[in-house]
Amino acid sequence: MKDNKSIVKLLSLTVLILLSFYITKAFSQSGVKHMSLIKGKCTNLIVGSFRYECAGVILTTHENGRISFSIPIPKGAVSFSGGKSKKTDSRTYALKVDNVSVGSAKKTVRYKVDGLCEMVVDANEDFVRSVVCFAAYNGKAVALNFVGDGSPIKHMN
C-alpha cells in the first residue's frame, strides 16, 4: 500500500513538471505575464463526483489581468480563473472565480461559475501555505484544498 502511494506521488509530480513545461512553452507567446509553481499536496480536489490527488498548483497571471490556479490531474488539468482579485490582509489573496476549465490538450470543457479562491502566503511571500477554492456549476461542486509543502515559490518566467 505504501509503495502505491509513493508511485502515485511520483506520477503526480512528474505530470506536474511536464505540464508546467508544456504550459510555459504553450503560453510563452500568448499573453501570460507571470507563472509560478507551488509545490505541496491536495487534501481535497473534487470536480463533480470525481476526486483527484495533486502535487502542485500553477499560478498564472495574464496580461489581460486574469489570474488562474491550475492543478495538474492525470491526463489533464483543472483550472480556476477570474478577473478580480484583492489582498484581504497582509498574507491572504482572494480571487473571484468566474470560470472553471477541466480537460486536456485534446479537449477542454469550460464552465461559467460563481466561486472564490483564497491563497495564504508566509509573511515574506516566499512560499504558499494554502490555496482553497470553491465554485459551483449546474448544482455540481468544484473544490480545491491545497497545502503548500514549505518550498519556495518557483517563478517560471
pLDDT given at position 55: 87
Q: Which residues neighbour 106 within 8 Å (Cβ) at sequence distance 6 or greater?
A: none
Looking at residue 2, its pLDDT comes to 54
Q: What angle do CA 129, 153, 131 make, to 5 degrees?
A: 35
Can you give the pLDDT at residue 6? Answer: 55
Q: Per-domain residue ranges for the chain?
A: 2-155
**Residue ranges of the chain with per-residue pLDDT less than 70:** 1-30, 157
Q: Provide the grid cell at 113.
A: 461559475
Give residue 41's Cα distance to chain centre: 11
Residue-level pLDDT at 101: 92
pLDDT of the residue at 24: 45
CA dihedral 95, 100, 105, 107 (to 10 degrees): -170
pLDDT reported for residue 14: 52
